[in-house]
Amino acid sequence: MTTRIEVNCETGEVKEIPLTPEEIAQREVEAAAFEAQRQTEEDAKAEKAAARLAILEKLGLTEEEAAVLLS
């Protein structure tokens, strides 16, 4: 069972409360949105790296040589 924990900082009381079906559904929606965003960011990173390698290849440089030139 999925639960949430509520802590009363003044009294130290800790409650473990079962999630409602609506709360569970909302968590699933948020998890799917997060995963989609993460995948989009990974795809953008991969595209950027591929473009960089393509440019270096056109110039006939390795990544190490480019790093030396840019430092």
Neighbours of 28 (CB within 10 A): 10
pLDDT averaged per 10 residues, the chain (length 71): 94 97 97 98 97 94 91 86
Range of the domain at 51: 3-70
Which value, in Å, is the radius of gyration of the alpha carbons in the chain?
24
What pLDDT is recorded for position 71?
86
Q: pTM of the full predicted structure? A: 0.64
Residue recorded with tokens 């409360």: 17
Structurally, the chain folds into a number of domains equal to 1
| Identity at 65, one-letter amino acid code | E
